Structure 1
Amino acid sequence: MDTTNHLIKEYVESPEKLKRMYKKVLMVVSLSQIFGGAGLAAGVTVGALLAQQMLGTDAFAGLPSALFTLGSAGAAFIVGRLSQRYGRRVGLTSGFIAGGLGAIGVIIATLINSVFLLFLSLFIYGAGTATNLQARYAGTDLADKKQRAKAISTTMVMTTFGAVAGPNLVEVMGKFAQLFNIPSLAGPFILSAVAYIMAGCILFIMLRPDPLLLAKAIEAHQQQQSDGIAPAITFSNKKGIIIGAVVMILTQIVMVAIMTMTPVHMQHHGHSLGAVGIVIGFHIGAMYLPSLVTGVLVDKVGRTAMSIASGITLLLAGLLAAYAPSDSMFILIVALSLLGLGWNFGLISGTAQIVDSTEPSSRAKVQGTIDVFIALAGASGGALSGIIVANSSFTTLSLIGGILSLLLIPVIIWYRKA
C-alpha cells in the first residue's frame, strides 16, 4: 500500500509524468476497446434473429436486445460502484469477464435449445455492453477540460475496429460454429466470448496505476495544497448532469429501437445474413469511427450545438429508414449510418457534459448511475420495437424514432434558459 501511495505521489508532483500516464491510459483503454467492440457486435447483429428462430415469432424478436440492454443496466450500476471503490481496473475487468461468460451461456443455450438459459445468458452478456461504454470514462479521468471530449472519442474510435469486424464475420463465425455442430446463429457469440475475456485481461494486466485512483489522489493533493475543501456538486452542476443524461437517454432509445428491428426487416424482404452483417457493420462503424472528429467538434463548437446536431441527424435517419424501398440495401446503409452518427454526436456531447459536471471523488458512481438509465432506455427501445413492428410496421417504428429524437431540441433550449 505504501508503494502504491509513493507511486501516486510521484505522478501528483510531476506534471510531465502525469501527461505520459494519461497517454498510456488512452492506449490501454483503446486496446481493450478493440476487443470490446468485437464482443458487442454479436448480440446486435444476430440476437433478434436467434430469438426469432428459437421462439418462432417476430413479436419477441426485440427481447434479446431488451435483455442484454437490461443486463447492461445492472452491470453499469455494479461496474460504477466497483470502479468508485476499487478503481477502473477492477470495475472494467469484472464487467468484461461477466460479458464473456454470458456469451458462453448463449452458445450452450442454443446447443440444448433452452430459451430460459438463452434469456438468462443474454442478460449476463449485457455486462460487456455496459463495460464497453463505461470504459470511455476511464480515458477522461486524467484529462483536462479541453481534452475531455477528445479523450472520449479516442477510446470510442478504437472500438470501431472490433465493432465493424464483428458483424462482417457473422457468416465466417457461423460456418466455424457448424464445424462443432453449434447452430450458425450462435457462431458470433464464440467471437464475443473470446473478445470480452481478452478485453478484461488487457485492462487487468496493463491499467496500472489506476487512472481514477490517481485522479482522486490529485484532487486530494490539490485540496491539501489550498487548505480548503472541494465544493460539492452545485445546482448548476446538477443541471449539467441532467442535460447530459437526457441527451444520452433519448439517443439510446431511438438508436436501439431502429437498429434492433433492421435485421428482421431485412430478412423479411429477402436479404441474406451477409447483407444484414454489412448494413449493421456500416451502422456500428458510424457509431464509433467519426468519434475523433466529433470529439474535436464537441470541445471546439460546444456540447449544446452537438447535442442539437444529434437530434437532427437521428430525425433524418428515422425518415430515411421509414421510406427506404425494402429492396434497397444502399438506402438502408445510409439510414443506419445516419442513425449511428446521430448516436455518436449524442453520446460524446452528453458524456463530456457529465464529466464537466462531476468531481473525481464521486465521478464513477454518478457515471455508473447514469449509464443504468441509458441502458434501461435502450432496453425499453429494444422491447417496444418488436411489439411496434409486429402490430404495425418497420416504417411506423422508424417514424416514431425520428420524431422522438426532436425532443432533444426543447430540452437543450430549456437548459440554456435555466
Structure 2
Amino acid sequence: MAQPTLAPYAGGKGIDLRRLQRRVVTALSIGQIVGGIGTGATLSLGALLIVQVSGSTEWSGMAATAGTLGAALFAIPLARLARARGRRFSLSTGAVVATLGGLLVIAAAPLVNFPLLLAGLTLMGAAAALNLQARFAATDLAADANRGRDLSLVVWSTTFGVVLGPNLFEPGEALGAWAGLPPLTGGFAIGVLAQLVGLGVYLTSLRPDPLLLASADAPPAPTGGAEPVGQPSRGLSTLCTNPVARRSTLTIALSHAVMVALMGMTPVHMTGHGSTLTIIGVTISLHLAGMYALAPLFGWLTDRWGGRVVALLGQGLLATALIVGIFAADSMAGITASLIFLGVGWSASTVAGSTLLTQSVPARNRPQVQGLSDALMNVAGAAGGALAGPILALIAFQGLSAALLTLVLAAVITQLRTNKGANRVR
C-alpha cells in the first residue's frame, strides 16, 4: 500500500507525510546516537562496578540482568504511554527515568551500596526500553514497502554512539576524577548527559506525533466482543492468536537472551585474562558495531527476501559466534570474532523479527503488542544475564557458549514451524 502524500490532522490541516516521516526518522536517529553514547559508555562498566561493590565475580551478571530487567519493566508502561499520549511523551519519559537511574548509580558507588546500585542500573534500563520503542516509532508512518528500511535506519544510527561509548572509558574516568567522582562512575556521568540531550531532541522534534497521527488516520476498529484497544491484555491475546507475531516475538526474545548472556560475561572473562579497560572497550565497540552497523542491509533484505529468511540467517550467525566462543575462548582474536558474529546475528534477528511483528498486527493494536514483545525480549535477556554469571563461574566461557547453543536451536525450530495463516506475512 502506497503512503499517501497528505493527511488531515489538527482540525483539517494538511501534512506531507513523506516529509514528516523523514523528519521523524532523523529525530529518532539523533536520539539513538546520543542514547547509544550513554549505553556504550556504561555497558561494560556496569559489570565491573558490580564486582567492585559486591566483591564477587559471581554477581557480575547482575549488571546486565538489572539493565534488561529494567527494560522489561518499562517496556509495557512506555508502550501504554505511547498509545495514550504519543511517542514524544513516551520516549521523553523514558529518557527522564534513565537519567535518574544514572544519578543513582553514581551515588551508590561511594556508599558501597549494592541494592542502590542495582536500583540505579534497573532504572537505566528505561534507556534500552526507549531505544527499542524508537525503532517501532520509525514504522508508524512508513510506507509498507519501506517499513524494514526505515526501522533499520534508526537501529543503524545507534552505531555511532555505541561504538564511541565504550572508548570513553578512560576519558570518563578522567572526567570523573576531575569532578571528584568515584572510580568507574565517569562513564555513567557521560550517560546522564547523553540522555538529557536525547530528551531535548524528542521534546522538540516529534511534532506532530507520528503515532497519534497514524492512529487518527487508521480505519475504525471493528465492533463486536473484542476487548478495548487500550487494555493491556490486547497484546497477549494477539500473540496467542497471531502465529506470525508469536513466532517473531519468540525469535527476538531468544536472540536477545543469547546476546546479553555472552556479551555481559565477556568483560569479566577478558579481565580474568589480563585485558586492560582499553582492550575491553575496543572489543565491546566492535561487538556493538556488529549489532547496529549492518542493520540497513538486514532491513533491505527483510523487505525483499522476507523476515523469516533473514531471521534464520541471524540464527546462523549467532551459532557461529558461539562455536567460535567454544573453540577460541583463550584467544583475543577469537573473542573479538565471537563478539562481532554475536552482534551481527542479533541485528539480523531483531530487524527481521521486529519488521515481521509490525507487519502482522493492525496499526491500532501495535503499541501494546510491541511493548509486550519488548518486555518479553528483556525478560529473556535478564534471565540470560542472571544465569550467565554462575555458568561462567562453573564451566567457564566455553561452557557458557555451548549452553547458549540450545537457545539458538529453539529459535530455529520456532521459525521453521508452519502455522495456519502464517504465510500472510513472510
TM-score range, shorter chain: over 0.9
Q: Could you tell me which residue of structure 1 aligns to residue 234 of structure 2?
A: none
Q: Could you tell me which residue of structure 2 aligns to residue 296 of structure 1?
A: 300
Taking the aligned partners of 1:187 and 1:257, their CA distance within structure 2 comes to: 25
Instruction: Work out whether residues 98 and 125 of structure 1, in 8 Å CA contact, stay in contact via their aligned partners in 2.
Output: yes
Q: Could you tell me which residue of structure 1 aligns to residue 46 of structure 2?
A: 47
Q: Could you tell me which residue of structure 2 aligns to residue 64 of structure 1?
A: 63
Instruction: Tell me by how many angstroms 1:43 deviates.
Output: 3.5
Q: Could you tell me which residue of structure 2 aligns to residue 138 of structure 1?
A: 137
* Range with bigger deviation, 60-69 or 236-245: 236-245
Equivalenced residue count is 405
Taking the aligned partners of 1:158 and 1:83, their CA distance within structure 2 comes to: 22
Q: Could you tell me which residue of structure 2 aligns to residue 190 of structure 1?
A: 189
How do residues 21-170 of structure 1 correspond to structure 2 at under 5 angstroms? Answer: 21-170=20-169
Taking the aligned partners of 2:224 and 2:27, their CA distance within structure 1 comes to: 30
Taking the aligned partners of 2:155 and 2:82, their CA distance within structure 1 comes to: 19
The RMSD of aligned alpha carbons is 2.1
Percent of pairs with identical residues = 34
Q: Could you tell me which residue of structure 2 aligns to residue 368 of structure 1?
A: 371
Q: Could you tell me which residue of structure 2 aligns to residue 332 of structure 1?
A: 335
Instruction: Tell me by how many angstroms 1:276 deviates.
Output: 0.5
Instruction: Work out whether residues 100 and 196 of structure 1, in 8 Å CA contact, stay in contact via their aligned partners in 2.
Output: yes
How do residues 368-387 of structure 1 correspond to structure 2 at under 5 angstroms? Answer: 368-387=371-390
**Kindly tell me: are residues 8 and 154 of structure 1, through their superposed partners in 2, closer, same or farther at Cα, counting changes over 3 Å?**
farther
Instruction: Work out whether residues 130 and 371 of structure 1, in 8 Å CA contact, stay in contact via their aligned partners in 2.
Output: yes
* Range with bigger deviation, 297-306 or 172-181: 172-181
Q: Could you tell me which residue of structure 1 aligns to residue 230 of structure 2?
A: none
Instruction: Tell me by how many angstroms 1:180 deviates.
Output: 2.5
Q: Could you tell me which residue of structure 1 aligns to residue 286 of structure 2?
A: 282
Instruction: Work out whether residues 41 and 162 of structure 2, in 8 Å CA contact, stay in contact via their aligned partners in 1.
Output: no
Read off the aligned partner of 1:115 and give its amino acid letter: F
Instruction: Tell me by how many angstroms 1:230 deviates.
Output: 11
Structure 1 SS opposite 2:18: helix
Taking the aligned partners of 1:48 and 1:235, their CA distance within structure 2 comes to: 34
Instruction: Tell me by how many angstroms 1:229 deviates.
Output: 6.8
Instruction: Tell me by how many angstroms 1:184 deviates.
Output: 2.8
Instruction: Tell me by how many angstroms 1:265 deviates.
Output: 0.2
* Range with bigger deviation, 184-193 or 398-407: 398-407
Taking the aligned partners of 1:236 and 1:74, their CA distance within structure 2 comes to: 21
Instruction: Tell me by how many angstroms 1:324 deviates.
Output: 1.3
1:396 aligned to 2:396? Answer: no
Instruction: Tell me by how many angstroms 1:403 deviates.
Output: 3.4
* Range with bigger deviation, 300-309 or 236-245: 236-245
How do residues 351-362 of structure 1 correspond to structure 2 at under 5 angstroms? Answer: 351-362=354-365
How do residues 313-328 of structure 1 correspond to structure 2 at under 5 angstroms? Answer: 313-326=317-330, 328=331
Taking the aligned partners of 1:28 and 1:276, their CA distance within structure 2 comes to: 31
Taking the aligned partners of 1:109 and 1:389, their CA distance within structure 2 comes to: 26
Instruction: Work out whether residues 9 and 213 of structure 2, in 8 Å CA contact, stay in contact via their aligned partners in 1.
Output: no
**Kindly tell me: are residues 352 and 205 of structure 1, through their superposed partners in 2, closer, same or farther at Cα, counting changes over 3 Å?**
same
Instruction: Tell me by how many angstroms 1:39 deviates.
Output: 1.7
How do residues 345-356 of structure 1 correspond to structure 2 at under 5 angstroms? Answer: 345-356=348-359
Listed as ranges, the gaps of 5+ residues in structure 2 are 1-6, 227-236
Read off the aligned partner of 1:413 and give its amino acid letter: L
Q: Could you tell me which residue of structure 1 aligns to residue 347 of structure 2?
A: 344
Deviations 1:199-240 (A, max 9, x none): 1221011100000000011114xx59xxx8799898997111
Query: Which residue, 256, 261, 266 being the options, matches 1:262?
Result: 266
Taking the aligned partners of 1:131 and 1:324, their CA distance within structure 2 comes to: 35
**Kindly tell me: are residues 198 and 26 of structure 1, through their superposed partners in 2, closer, same or farther at Cα, counting changes over 3 Å?**
same
1:239 aligned to 2:279? Answer: no
TM-score normalised to structure 1 length: 0.92
Structure 2 SS opposite 1:361: helix
Q: Could you tell me which residue of structure 2 aligns to residue 211 of structure 1?
A: 210
Read off the aligned partner of 2:377 and give its amino acid letter: I
Structure 1 SS opposite 2:275: coil
Taking the aligned partners of 1:293 and 1:331, their CA distance within structure 2 comes to: 25
**Kindly tell me: are residues 245 and 217 of structure 1, through their superposed partners in 2, closer, same or farther at Cα, counting changes over 3 Å?**
same
Instruction: Work out whether residues 238 and 369 of structure 2, in 8 Å CA contact, stay in contact via their aligned partners in 1.
Output: no
Read off the aligned partner of 2:280 and give its amino acid letter: V
**Kindly tell me: are residues 234 and 173 of structure 1, through their superposed partners in 2, closer, same or farther at Cα, counting changes over 3 Å?**
closer
Query: Which residue, 245, 252, 259 being the options, matches 1:248?
Result: 252
Taking the aligned partners of 1:206 and 1:151, their CA distance within structure 2 comes to: 17
**Kindly tell me: are residues 210 and 237 of structure 1, through their superposed partners in 2, closer, same or farther at Cα, counting changes over 3 Å?**
farther
Structure 2 SS opposite 1:182: coil
1:306 aligned to 2:310? Answer: yes
TM-score normalised to structure 2 length: 0.91
Instruction: Work out whether residues 39 and 193 of structure 1, in 8 Å CA contact, stay in contact via their aligned partners in 2.
Output: yes
Taking the aligned partners of 1:62 and 1:235, their CA distance within structure 2 comes to: 30
Taking the aligned partners of 1:299 and 1:101, their CA distance within structure 2 comes to: 38
* Range with bigger deviation, 40-49 or 205-214: 40-49
Listed as ranges, the gaps of 5+ residues in structure 1 are none
Deviations 1:337-357 (A, max 9, x none): 100001001100110011011
